């Protein structure tokens, strides 16, 4: 899963390009300052939940490393993760009603930098360790989830673009997760066998859309690119909706995670019309 972490390296550049592209393509003011209002209680609760998830994933990564921390490089990585955990807990402690969005952005950026360093460290020290890689992937997804929860309600173009770039990363990750689930479910019954080919198309569509976000396209252009994702998603839904939750619980839960990311992007891109969403037989 190194692809999702390598995408982080280009995030700053992609954000800058997308902001410029959006300003030109959408013919909106080049800069809208982020709102300085405090998070409402419901928003704060969502951020608190996402932050708690991130802390758990950091602790899980440390646990994975501690089982094998036999040489200096592994111990150095453990200490690096510990530093990121300290920043995450600091961010978590700041999540009290009345704190400004600007303050939380500052704390998040400090923590986020440490998380990127951890991701790089895992890639270098544990490239052949599947457990570490998996734990680092889950950490990356938790970071993306926290960024989305924290950024909701901020209508500035820069923040919206950041959200799109990260959610595009999440879309690729979730599509690949669903592809693995569909692969292992294939053959358990005729209906599940039909899911994997459709999801394979979705992975390709998600990767193409992710590349589009890196190219600095405007929101309007990205909305056009997202149409392919929507079309393939419709095909996946046709296959998945026929499955029974009692027989394919993991596959359907994986599809539900992808459904949430698709919903986030649908809203961020401001696509008109009702979105096709997942419904599960019970």
Instruction: Write out pLDDT tens, residues 107-146.
Output: 999 999 999 999 999 988 867 788 888 999 999 999 999 9
The answer on pLDDT for 29 being more than 60 is no
The answer on pLDDT for 1 being more than 60 is no
- Give residue 3's pLDDT: 44
Angstrom distances, CA of residue 167 to CA of 8, 65, 92, 145: 12, 28, 22, 9
Task: Output the average pLDDT for the chain.
Answer: 86
Quote the CA–CA distance of 151 and 164 in Å, as a whole number. 11
CB-count exposure of residue 67 (10 Å: 0-12, 13-18, 19+): exposed
pLDDT tens digit string along 49-72? 999 999 999 999 999 888 876 677
- CB of 237 closer than 8 Å to CB of 230: no
The answer on pLDDT for 217 being more than 80 is yes
Among the listed residues 179, 240, 246, the one whose alpha carbon sits nearest the alpha carbon of residue 206: 179
Mean pLDDT of the 11-38 span:
51
- Give residue 139's pLDDT: 95
* pTM (predicted TM-score): 0.84
Mean pLDDT of the 192-202 span:
92
The answer on pLDDT for 15 being more than 80 is no
- Give residue 24's pLDDT: 43
DSSP type of residue 52: H
Mean pLDDT of the 20-27 span:
48
Backbone angles phi, psi at 264, to 5 degrees: -60, -45
CB-count exposure of residue 89 (10 Å: 0-12, 13-18, 19+): middle
The answer on pLDDT for 34 being more than 50 is no
The answer on pLDDT for 4 being more than 90 is no
The structure tokens listed for 75 are 């111990």
- Cα 269 to its chain centre, rounded Å, is 16
**Cα-trace Rg, the chain:** 19
pLDDT band for position 79 (cuts 50, 70, 90):
very high
Which percentage of the chain shows pLDDT scores above 90? 60
- Give residue 282's pLDDT: 56
Quote the CA–CA distance of 133 and 174 in Å, as a whole number. 16
């Amino acid at each position: 899963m190194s692809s999702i972490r390598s995408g982080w390296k280009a995030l700053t550049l992609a954000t800058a390009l997308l902001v410029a592209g959006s300003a030109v393509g959408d013919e909106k003011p080049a800069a809208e300052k982020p709102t300085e209002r405090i998070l409402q209680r419901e928003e704060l609760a969502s951020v608190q939940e996402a932050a708690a998830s991130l802390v758990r994933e950091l602790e899980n990564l440390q646990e994975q490393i501690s089982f094998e921390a036999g040489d200096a490089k592994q111990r150095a990585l453990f200490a690096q993760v510990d530093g990121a955990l300290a920043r995450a807990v600091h961010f978590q402690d700041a999540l009290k009603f009345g704190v400004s969005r600007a303050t939380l952005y500052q704390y998040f950026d400090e923590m986020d930098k440490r998380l990127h360093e951890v991701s790089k460290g895992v890639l270098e020290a544990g490239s052949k360790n599947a457990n570490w890689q998996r734990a680092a992937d889950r950490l990356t997804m938790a970071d993306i989830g926290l960024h989305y929860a924290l950024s909701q309600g901020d209508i500035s173009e820069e923040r919206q673009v950041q959200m799109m770039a990260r959610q595009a990363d999440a879309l690729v990750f979730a599509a690949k997760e669903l592809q693995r689930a569909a692969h292992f479910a294939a053959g358990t019954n005729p209906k599940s066998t039909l899911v994997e080919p459709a999801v394979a198309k979705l992975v390709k569509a998600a990767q193409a859309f992710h590349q589009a976000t890196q190219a600095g396209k405007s929101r309007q252009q990205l909305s056009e690119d997202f149409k392919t994702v929507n079309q393939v998603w419709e095909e996946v839904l046709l296959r998945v909706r026929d499955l029974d939750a009692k027989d394919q619980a993991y596959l359907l839960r994986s599809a539900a995670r992808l459904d949430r990311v698709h919903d986030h992007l649908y809203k961020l891109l401001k696509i008109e019309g009702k979105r096709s969403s997942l419904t599960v037989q019970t």
